Structure formats: structure tokens, C-alpha cells
């Protein structure tokens, strides 16, 4: 298993554990809220667990900009942002943080 | 007043915590503040600017109190910056506002860890720094003792907090450390608490509140100032501050 596959596996474990769902139901393109039923406190729980596992702190401004860009890309409004908050966004963000050391 | 006192406030960059920080700087001789926060960087920087404009040195401490290792790291940083603390205020809370019977295990853990459990570890970290004596204050809420819809998890956490206040008050009295709490009613800061059906909750709260208004962070801060600087014979009390709500 290479590093990115390991990161994906670790992330899926974190999401599944937080939401108490089987890992097999967590896909990279799953929306945390719309598909997996995450509530806002669960998003924080997942975020905190990622910070502990991967050793960095989320920059909320970076996340906000990332989601805003995605909304613009898909011509979506602010209310659709939860749908954009997929497992893949977290995965990409972790890889970005890892790449930036 | 000489600003020789030092204070740690968890959750000190917003709302009640920030109001208490300001009150301590203006009226309790606090010249060095350690403000813990987790999430809102912008609010933290704004709080630092506001308090430093009043002549106080502010150290922002971004540590997540849900995790014991982060609390330890926070105290490592504090111990590197000072060998004395006079005040510790716990004003940190996080929860999921929903019926208690629907709260999931991770939501329960996060609520208890941040809102209550962290108070104990922070108090333990403060004791050696309060070698000349000190005051601790926990911010609780009336949901600890009365039913509030969708408040079960946080209500239990606040009850835990209040119980810790009583135990620590007795245990730490010999060290000249006083521990008290404030049991606040509904507070309207920059925004209302994110309860479901908040308009209805506010309407019902106002109807039952003799003071006919919600509380403000400044209301809590004034009582906090009294408890931290004047209430020399008060030990282990959780003081209800709710405009009379609990009486009706």
C-alpha cells in the first residue's frame, strides 16, 4: 500500500468510526452530510480526528475558499455547500497539507 | 491599578470568555492573558487586538481541549512563559443540540470532553502555577438543573462541571485556591445560541424571566469579576445568574 492509499484508508476509518457506519459505505465521493448523515458536530469530530492522526491543524479559511471555489465551479449556491463537502475534499486537503510538509 | 496578575481563560476569545477577559484586564489588574481557542482564528486575533489595546499582553493558545495530549502541550507552553497564574476561567463548551436519547457516542464524547472533562485537566495544570493562591471559575448553565429541549448532552456536561467545582473547592482550599462557578441562563452575545427553534425558545424564556430580558456576556463578566476578586469567603458555589428564570 503506497502513501496515498494509506491516507485514504486512514481517512475512511476515521469517518466510519466517527459516524458509526461500516467502512465499506464510505466512498471518496460520499457527501459527509447528504450521503453519510453527518451533523455539524460530526464534521468537527472528523476534523479533530484528522488533526490528531495526521499532525496538522485545519485552516478554516483554506477550507472555506476550497468549498467556495467548488461551488463556483459547479455553479452552485451557498446552500449546496454541504453536498460539496465530500470525503474526497478532506482527502485532497490532507494530501495538500502532507505535500506542504 | 498595576497590571501584575495573570489569567488563563479557555474559550477566551469569544462571547462570555472574551467579556470576562476584558473585565479582568480593566478591573482586576490582569496584565498577561493566556486565551485558549480551537476554531475561530479571526475572532482570536480580534480579541487579542481588543485586549492588547487595553494594555494587556495576550498569548493566544490554539489547543484542542478535547485531547489530553493537547492540554498537556498547552501547559508546556504556559509554563515556558510564566511561573505564576492568578485566575483560571473555564468558558468552553461544544455540543450537538438534540434530544439526549438521540445523541450518538462520538457526539457525547466530544461534548463531555470539551465542556467538562477538560476543566479537570486544566485545573490540575493550574494548581502548581497558583503557588501564591488563585481563583478558578467554571461557566455552567441552567440546563444543568432544569430541562431544556435539545440540551441534554450539554446539560449533563454542565452538571459534571458544577460537581467538579464543589469537589475542587474543598480539595484546593488548603492551597489558598478558591473554585466557584456561574450558572448562566440564556445569553445573547453577538448571536443567539444555535438551538433548534431558537425564536420560540427565546419567546418562552423571556415569558418566564422576571428580568424580561436575556443575559449578556457583560452580565456574566460582572459576576465573574465579583467571584474572582471580591468573594473571599465563597467556596464551591455555583451561582445562578439567569434574570430569575429558575424561580418561575
> Could you tell me the pLDDT band of residue B172, with boundaries at 50, 70 and 90?
very high
Distance between start and end Cα atoms, chain A: 21
Cross-chain Cβ contact B107/A39 below 8 Å: yes
Q: What are phi and psi of B150, to 5 degrees?
A: 65, 20
Q: Which helix (H) or strand (E) holds B59?
A: strand B57-62
Q: Do B161 and B190 contact (CB within 8 A), yes or no?
A: no
**Considering only CB atoms, which chain A residues are within 8 Å of B64?**
48, 51
- The CA distance from B93 to the nearest CA of chain A, in Å, is 12
Least-confidence region, from A19-23, A97-101, B91-95 = A97-101
With respect to residue B114, please indicate whether it lies within any of the assigned structural domains.
yes
Whole-prediction pTM value? Answer: 0.93
Q: What's the pLDDT at A101?
A: 72
- B69: closest chain A residue by CA: A52
Provide the 8-state DSSP code for B242: S
Least-confidence region, from A18-32, A48-62, B53-67, B207-221 = A48-62
CATH code for the domain of B231 = 3.40.50.720
**Considering only CB atoms, which chain A residues are within 8 Å of B106?**
17-20, 42, 45
Q: What's the pLDDT at B88?
A: 98
Total beta-carbon pairs less than 8 A apart between chain A and chain B: 36
The CATH architecture one would assign to domain A3-99 is Orthogonal Bundle (1.10)
Number of domains in chain B: 1
Residue A78 has pLDDT above 70, yes or no: no
Residue B190 has pLDDT above 80, yes or no: no
Residue A71 has pLDDT above 80, yes or no: no
> Could you tell me the pLDDT band of residue A68, with boundaries at 50, 70 and 90?
confident
Average pLDDT, chain B: 95
Which residue in the set A41, A57, A61 is minimally distant from B96, CB to CB? A41
With respect to residue B248, please indicate whether it lies within any of the assigned structural domains.
no
Which residue is listed with cell 445523541?
A: B103
Mutation target for B interface from A13, A33, A44: give the one with most B CBs within 10 A.
A44
**Span A31-66, pLDDT tens digits:** 999 999 999 899 999 999 999 999 998 887 787 787
With respect to residue B247, please indicate whether it lies within any of the assigned structural domains.
no
Domain encompassing residue B209: 5-242
**Considering only CB atoms, which chain B residues are within 8 Å of A48?**
64, 66-67, 110
**Considering only CB atoms, which chain A residues are within 8 Å of B63?**
none
Q: What's the pLDDT at A12?
A: 97
Cross-chain Cβ contact B106/A18 below 8 Å: yes
Q: What's the pLDDT at A2?
A: 78
B219-227: average pLDDT = 98
- How is chain A split into domains, by residue range? 3-99
Residue B193 has pLDDT above 80, yes or no: no
Q: Do B157 and B116 contact (CB within 8 A), yes or no?
A: yes
Cross-chain Cβ contact A41/B41 below 8 Å: no
Amino acid at each position: 500500500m503506497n502513501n496515498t492509499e494509506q491516507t485514504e484508508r486512514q481517512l475512511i476509518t476515521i469517518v466510519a468510526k466517527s459516524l458509526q457506519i461500516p467502512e465499506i459505505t464510505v466512498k471518496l465521493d460520499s457527501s459527509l452530510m447528504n450521503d453519510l448523515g453527518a451533523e455539524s458536530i460530526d464534521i468537527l469530530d472528523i476534523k479533530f480526528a484528522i488533526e490528531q492522526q495526521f499532525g496538522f491543524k485545519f485552516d478554516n479559511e483554506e477550507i472555506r475558499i476550497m468549498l467556495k471555489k467548488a461551488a463556483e465551479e459547479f455553479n452552485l449556491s451557498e446552500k449546496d455547500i454541504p453536498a460539496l463537502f465530500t470525503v474526497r475534499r478532506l482527502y485532497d486537503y490532507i494530501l495538500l497539507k502532507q505535500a506542504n510538509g | 491599578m498595576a497590571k501584575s496578575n495573570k489569567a488563563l481563560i479557555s474559550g477566551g476569545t469569544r462571547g462570555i470568555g472574551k467579556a470576562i477577559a476584558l473585565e479582568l484586564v480593566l478591573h482586576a489588574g490582569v496584565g498577561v492573558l493566556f486565551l485558549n481557542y480551537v476554531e475561530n482564528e479571526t475572532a482570536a486575533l480580534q480579541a487579542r487586538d481588543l485586549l492588547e489595546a487595553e494594555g494587556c499582553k495576550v498569548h493566544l493558545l490554539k489547543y484542542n481541549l478535547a485531547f489530553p495530549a493537547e492540554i498537556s502541550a498547552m501547559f508546556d507552553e504556559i509554563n515556558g512563559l510564566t511561573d505564576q497564574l492568578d485566575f483560571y476561567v473555564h468558558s468552553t463548551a461544544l455540543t450537538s443540540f438534540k434530544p439526549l436519547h438521540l445523541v450518538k457516542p462520538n457526539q457525547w464524547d466530544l461534548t463531555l470532553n470539551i465542556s467538562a472533562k477538560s476543566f479537570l485537566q486544566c485545573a490540575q495544570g493550574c494548581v502548581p502555577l497558583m503557588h501564591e493562591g488563585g481563583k478558578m471559575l467554571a461557566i455552567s448553565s441552567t440546563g444543568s438543573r432544569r430541562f431544556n429541549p435539545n440540551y441534554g448532552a450539554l446539560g449533563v456536561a454542565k452538571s459534571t462541571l458544577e460537581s467538579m467545582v464543589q469537589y475542587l473547592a474543598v480539595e484546593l482550599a488548603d492551597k489558598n485556591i478558591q473554585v466557584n462557578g456561574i450558572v448562566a441562563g440564556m445569553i445573547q452575545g453577538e448571536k443567539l445560541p444555535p438551538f433548534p427553534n431558537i425564536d420560540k425558545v427565546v419567546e418562552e424564556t423571556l415569558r418566564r424571566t422576571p428580568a424580561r430580558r436575556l443575559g449578556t456576556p457583560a452580565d456574566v463578566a460582572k459576576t465573574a469579576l465579583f467571584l474572582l476578586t471580591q468573594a473571599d469567603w465563597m467556596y464551591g458555589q455555583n451561582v445562578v445568574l439567569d434574570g430569575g428564570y429558575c424561580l418561575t
